[in-house]
Amino acid sequence: MTISRQKIQGFTLLELLTVVAIIAVLCSILIPALHGVRFSAQQASCASNMRQIGSALLLYAAANDNKLPETSHTAAFGQSWIYTLSEYLGDCDEVRICPADPKGDGRFDAGGTSYILNSFLFVPQIGPFGQPMGEPTNNLLLIENPTETPMAFIIADSQGIGDANDHTHSSRWSSWSAVVRDISPGRFGGGNSPMRALGSSNYLFADGHVEQLDAAIMKARIDSGDNFAKP
């Protein structure tokens, strides 16, 4: 009895190279798309956090003669603004960390937050002997353009993770390098080079709304002498 053997034919080198090229093209298309979906989801979740924080800040002000809460600059230890809002937020742990914050886990464990308040509004000017300087600013009624005045930003990666890192030094924002020491204008899609002004970030304004703004636009404002944090 004769047993015939069927010839097994493998892929040719050309066919293998063609398959590899197709896979490479698909990866080049799909990977950026997946990154884009991830950034969009993180940005939306972060914006939701900030809107809830904004609502809580407005509720707090309404219950306290339009005054905004204190930051760690003037409040007692452990009484940073994010915890002051617990009565209005429920569990502040649910909203105090941005999902795109690379130090998010550390900030959570240390009692910190990914969101940093505008010192123009929340930090009173104190003289060398502890005396107040100028008019108080932590009052909603003193904000002339609440729809254009930011209350909170996403914190910079270079900032510490503890609850003392909860406010900016906005009066020093005369250069882009000073801005990115405090906040992260390129949190979504900006990569690891904040000085390049890539990507975008979320901004919470004094009327409670949140906007996603491009880092390049914010840098152009600073370069022109327009400190966008100033009321």
35 vs 214, higher pLDDT: 214
Whether 78 is in a domain gets the answer yes
Whether 28 is in a domain gets the answer yes
Whether 229 is in a domain gets the answer no
Number of compact structural domains in the chain: 1
Whether 57 is in a domain gets the answer yes
Whether 9 is in a domain gets the answer no
Q: Is the predicted pLDDT of residue 136 greater than 90, yes or no?
A: no
- pLDDT tens for 52-74 read 999 999 999 999 999 998 888 77
Structure confidence at residue 163 (pLDDT): 86
d(CA 159, CA 23): 41
Whether 127 is in a domain gets the answer yes
Whether 3 is in a domain gets the answer no
Give the residue numbers spanning the domain of 171. Answer: 17-223
d(CA 124, CA 121): 8
d(CA 148, CA 140): 13
Using pLDDT thresholds of 50, 70 and 90, give the confidence band for residue 7. low
Whether 230 is in a domain gets the answer no
Cα distance from N-terminal residue to C-terminal residue, the chain: 97
pTM attached to this predicted model: 0.81
